[in-house]
Structure 1
Amino acid sequence: MKHFNNVFFIALLVSIFAITACTDGKEDLLLPPEEEIKEPGDGEAQNEIKLADLIGTYKVQTVWIDGASVLDGWEVGDIWEIAQDGIRIACAPKVEFTYANSTLKVNEVDYKVSVTGNSYSVSFTADNKSIVLLLATTSDVCLISEPDPTPTEPYVPPVVGTVELDKLYGYATADAGTTGGAGATAANTHHFNNGKALQQWLNLREKNKSLVPAIVWLSGTFNKDEGRGGSSPWFDVKRTGNITFIGTDDFTMKNIGFFLVEATNIIIRNIYIEMPKADNGADGVSMQKSNNVWVDHCTFKSMNQTSDYEDGSCDITHGTFNVTVSWSHFINAQKTCLIGHSDSQSDDVKITATLHHNFFDQSNSRHPRVRYGKVHVYNNYFNKVSTYGVGSAYGAMVLVENNYFDGVHLPTDICTYPAKKSGSSYVSNLTGKVAGYLFEADNTYVNKPSNASDPYPFINVEYKAYNGEKLSTPLTYNDFKPAYDYIVDASETIKDVVPSGAGVGKLGYQTAPVEVDNGGIAVTPGQGGEDPDPGITPPVGEPVIGNWTKSDIGTSGGSCTSNGSEIITITGKGKFESSAQVFTFVYQKISGDFAITAKLDSYDRNNTSNPNQGVAGLLFTTDIGATGKNFIHALAGKGGDGYYYSHRLDADSAADRKKLNDPTSSDSDVYLKLERVGDTYNASYSLDGGTTYGNPITGNFTSALPPELYVGLVVNSGDNSKVSTAVFSDVQINEEPQSF
């Protein structure tokens, strides 16, 4: 007969809870409403069954739950093999058991064996329900062989030595290494205590594609509205590189993070981040399409443990590679570190990351959760993390060694066989049916909870998918081993070493070594600054306001000021003619389809004499450097004598300008609207506060528009000598309010 243990729960309770492979959800126990029946063995005298009589192979015939028969459960038909040295249930790997008084005992659970006719039955209790299994002998055999308990190539442990608190280790040492702003001159060493100034400085770095080494000290408190904007609470570090960000020990980023895109050679150290709300997917630190990034001695603190209120603390996605996250403290984090952003491979196959000496302090999950990448997790302290520790799925290769797991019921998680449901706890929390690979060695496990997974921990070096499909040759340690050299602390010391060294305040950065200069950026609302990098001079008259850039097209000689929030005042002179255009343009670059709307509070033309050549409104163009008949654009705006659209749909052609269609209702609040849909634009206006717009004017561009356009607010006067003034407010892009 068969032997029943915790692995038995894996098959039995899969059907009871009706889960699919590796799901995240928790479903209620559902039982078919059947009449009560007599359980096998009731009222019959039973002699003790000898273990020798149970040795053999069996198949599950029927299941009873609280006396009700469950005939179509997933476990019906499962094969069980019982031997003197262990049992295989549902063809799972063999596990040990004890046997006495016709009772199998596995992990403190008693399974009572009885004889029912020519069959055996097993009775036990799970989830406060009485469960009976009816078995019959079978000639069928398990098609999945036992995993090789020893790898072909032996594990060679790393050298135990002195790990330096201030030294870079891991994948971020690859290629040219990660040096950040090393070598920065005094002119490129800055101290910011104003978040808006920092974002403006970063915008200029992106605009000029600057890679000049820079060291950036941060002090004070930066808030959610000081980066891209209140609904996008992060600082954009885009298309730039060779920067070191260092926070002083008392510096705090409140509800705002960093967003790295196409950034290279970036160091982020000693930054205290109070996690932002997951607005537009905001993270503490997010890396996309970047490389050689070192996040070190940072603290990430969850401010709201409600499910999905916050997103990732430190996420590595979209093909980012050569990353090290070290000596950081994650406090109550809900989604600690996502590595690999989707179930489709895309660029994530080239992800490489190291996580070492991090303190996962009563956090929830993703420490990390990996898709496709190659990741090394060592010398981390997992203190009572609640859902799971390290997760591997979708072909990821994760090496987990010399860590310390304290009170963790699921230290490692894999999305593959045999990670199923066991008892009343979910064994696998990872979505998908494609296996992740995980090699575990020399970790310390203490205070193992009563609901701990079985096996403990999970590993996978051979299964390709949830159903037990296997690799032709199992993976070995050498498949997981990183190419770089490293030393480790002994795992049993991590509970003391990591808390004493992880997080902000451990590197002696009480104050910055340079005075506050905010990168040369004026912090008065509406004023901008210049890129402080020598040798890179931004175009004259193009300060940045929040995420917006002001540019004089032609000789507009305009200006722009804001109230520090949603209202912006723009001045400009010049004419908007078919063969030449002069105006002030406040813009940002937008990719893909969009709709921009704005309230036009006022337009003072200063008594200019050409009402049909002056405009205040919305415009997009493919190239702000183009002039005359090469200036391809679409515009919706107010002129001196009405509301107009203008467009040039093909280069070397005249522009077309006519009146917009009038809306059907009005109460004098003027809103303008300009949309891009593929290679088409729509222009319209509203006189009732944006509730009702007139029928849009539509234009189709002759050539395909580029993915990214310059989009924004335009003002001129219709006169080359007089200046007009327009005031805009409630500017929205795709219904997202903008600030200036």
Structure 2
Amino acid sequence: METTLPYADVDSRLRAMAGRAEGFGRFAVGGAHGPVHSVTSLADDGPGSLREACRRKEPLWIVFEISGTIHLSSYLNVSSHKTIDGRGQRIKLSGKGLRLKECENIIICNLEFEGGRGHDVDGIQIKPNSKHIWIDRCSLRDYDDGLIDITRQSTDITVSRCYFANHDKTMLIGADPSHSGDRCIRVTIHHCFFDGTRQRHPRLRFGKVHLYNNYTRNWGVYAICASVEAQIYSQCNIYEAGQKKKAFEFYTEKAADKEEARSGLIISEGDLLLNGAQPCPLREANGERMFHPSEFYPIWTMEPASDSLKHILHICSGWQSVPRPSEQGNALVT
């Protein structure tokens, strides 16, 4: 079967990405209703810098006129209604990461994150109360904490076609069993490549996660983990074991507002298990109802897990050497 990538046409026009995410982040339009804004400096702050653009309050579609590394001395806070669009250049963020705090309508596309240092330093930290976010075609590796963390009632987020490598605690969704408000969290992760990262692809508490057409190989602890009240729908993914064979893990924790400790639920449907990867064990639902993605969005671009899918994810996940699309004829898709 020929592999077809989702939203393959979004590179034809600059703002064609707006509203084109699949899954829970599908309403993210980023800075589509604002002007195009050019980053002209690799400095951490000041005129022409990314930080200066992201602190502005008005909608902006941010593009880059230069390539290189931006070394962040502190988290870079991204305000609402922003697209950070790295197409056409090669931009790497290091030192610290992006923080999406109490914001909405964010698109982050075609960036690299590497070498984040310090306590609690994530590549992309989403908390609290942020929503309608799409992270697409980013490469993330080697941060001191997480690569992408989604916590504190942040929701309606899609992570797509990203590449994760050289890391331990890759993606945490829901940080603590006392944060019962995280029951609202909803995240879609699709067409991503987790390449030898140790654990958390993701680890989930409380919320709902739809995983489809991802490739996870050679993990060091587990591939995905459902903790307290989590619901993970794993659909047509490829799990290729290394030395550790347990793909699906369950951790039992007690929610702050409940009397009994619980783990979470995982449904594995159409997943391809390679090199001795263990199938998902059947577990009692204990009265909990498992969600189905079709309750929240009608369609998603998915195919059976296969060698051809594995091949295309090797090539098409993470930062891509693609030209910046033309600004001409940009009609907003909603």
Q: Report the TM-score, using the length of structure 2 for normalisation.
A: 0.81
Question: What is the alpha-carbon distance in structure 2 between the residues aligned to residue 216 and residue 250 of structure 1?
Answer: 11
Instruction: Say whether 1:383 aligns with 2:181.
Output: no
- Partner Cα separation in structure 1 for residue 241 and residue 180 of structure 2: 36
Shift of 1:215: 2.5
Please give the residue correspondences for 1:136-175 in structure 2 after superposition, counting only pairs within 5 Å: 163-165=6-8, 166=10, 167-173=20-26
What is the identity, as a one-letter code, of the residue corresponding to 2:237?
N
Cα offset, 1:388, TM superposition:
0.7
Distance 1:274 1:161 in 2: 29
Trace 1:571-582 onto structure 2 (pairs within 5 A): none
Residue 77 of structure 2 is matched in structure 1 by: 236
Matches within 5 A, 1:514-529: none
Please give the per-residue CA displacement for 1:614-657, whole angstroms capped at 9, x wherever unaligned. Answer: xxxxxxxxxxxxxxxxxxxxxxxxxxxxxxxxxxxxxxxxxxxx
Could you tell me which residue of structure 1 aligns to residue 248 of structure 2?
Answer: 412
Q: Which residue of 1 aligns with 2:296?
A: 483
**How far off its partner does 1:211 sit?**
3.5
Residue number in structure 2 paired with 1:329: 163
Q: Deviations over 1:15-47 (max 9, x none)?
A: xxxxxxxxxxxxxxxxxxxxxxxxxxxxxxxxx
Tell me how far 1:162 sits from its aligned partner.
5.7
Counterpart CA distance in 1 for 2:76 and 2:318 is 21
Letter in 1 for 2:52: W
Partner SS state of residue 364, structure 1: coil
**Counterpart-to-counterpart distance in 2, 1:489 and 1:498:** 13
Cα separation, partners in 2 of 1:481 and 1:368, compared to 1, 3 Å = farther
Relative distance call for 1:339 and 1:200 in structure 2 (3 A) is closer
CA deviation string 1:181-220 (max 9, x = no partner): 11432xx422242221336525752xxxx24343243632
Kept after mapping to 1: 8 A contact 2:51/2:77: no
Whether the 8 Å CA contact 1:182–1:215 is kept in 2: the answer is: no
Cα 1:447/1:204, change in 2 over 3 Å: closer
**What's 1:436 paired with?**
264
Q: Matched residue of 1:283: which SS?
A: coil
Query: Is 1:250 matched up with 2:77?
Result: no
- Which structure has the greater CA radius of gyration? 1
Match among 446, 455, 462 for residue 274 of structure 2:
446
2:183 paired residue among 346, 349, 360: 349
1:675 equivalent in structure 2: none
Structure 2 CA distance for partners of 1:192 and 1:342, relative to 1, 3 Å? farther
| Structure 2: unaligned runs, 5 residues or longer | 11-19, 254-259, 328-334
User: Displacement of 1:249 after TM fit?
Assistant: 3.9
Deviation at 1:447, TM superposition (A): 0.9
Partner of 1:201: 52
1:285-684 to 2 correspondences below 5 Å? 285-288=124-127, 289-302=129-142, 310-407=144-241, 409-415=245-251, 433-448=261-276, 456-460=279-283, 462-463=284-285, 470-471=286-287, 475=289, 479=292, 481-484=294-297, 485-492=299-306, 493-509=308-324
Q: How far is 1:164 from its partner?
A: 3.1
SS at match of 1:355: strand
Counting aligned pairs with the same residue, the percent is 26
- 2:59 alignment counterpart: 212
Change (3 A) 1:379 1:348: same
Matching of residues 692-711 of structure 1 within 5 Å = none
Calculate the aligned-residue CA RMSD, in Å.
2.6
Greater share of strand residues, 1 or 2?
1
| Contact 1:336-1:364 within 8 A present in 2 as well | yes
Write the letter of the residue equivalent to 1:220.
G
Partners of 1:269 and 1:162 in 2: CA distance: 16
Residue of 109, 120, 129 corresponding to 1:269: 109
Give every structure 1 segment of 4 or more consecutive aligned residues whose post-TM-superposition deviation is greater than 6 Å.
none
3-state SS, counterpart of residue 302 of structure 1: strand
Measured after TM superposition, the shift of residue 368 of structure 1 is 0.5
Aligned to 1:143: none
- How far did 1:236 drift? 1.5
Match of 1:648 in 2: none
Structure 1 letter corresponding to 2:280: P
> C-alpha separation between the residues in 2 aligned to 1:184 and 1:406?
43
The more displaced of 336-345 and 193-202 is 193-202
Instruction: Indicate whether 1:259 and 2:99 are aligned.
Output: yes
Q: Which ranges in structure 1 are unaligned for 5 or more consecutive residues?
A: 1-159, 229-233, 304-309, 418-431, 464-469, 515-740
User: Aligned residues, how many?
Assistant: 299
State the shift of 1:434 in Å: 1.7
Structure 2 CA distance for partners of 1:204 and 1:321, relative to 1, 3 Å: closer
Using the TM superposition, give the Cα deviation of residue 161 of structure 1 relative to its aligned residue in structure 2, in angstroms.
6.5
Q: Is the 8 A contact 2:103 2:130 kept in 1?
A: yes
Task: Name the residue aligned to 1:283.
Answer: 122
- SS state of the match for residue 196, structure 1? coil
Query: Residues 25 and 187 of structure 2 are in contact (CA less than 8 Å); yes or no, is this contact kept in structure 1?
Result: yes
- Letter of the 2:32 partner, please give it: A
Letter in 2 for 1:320: S
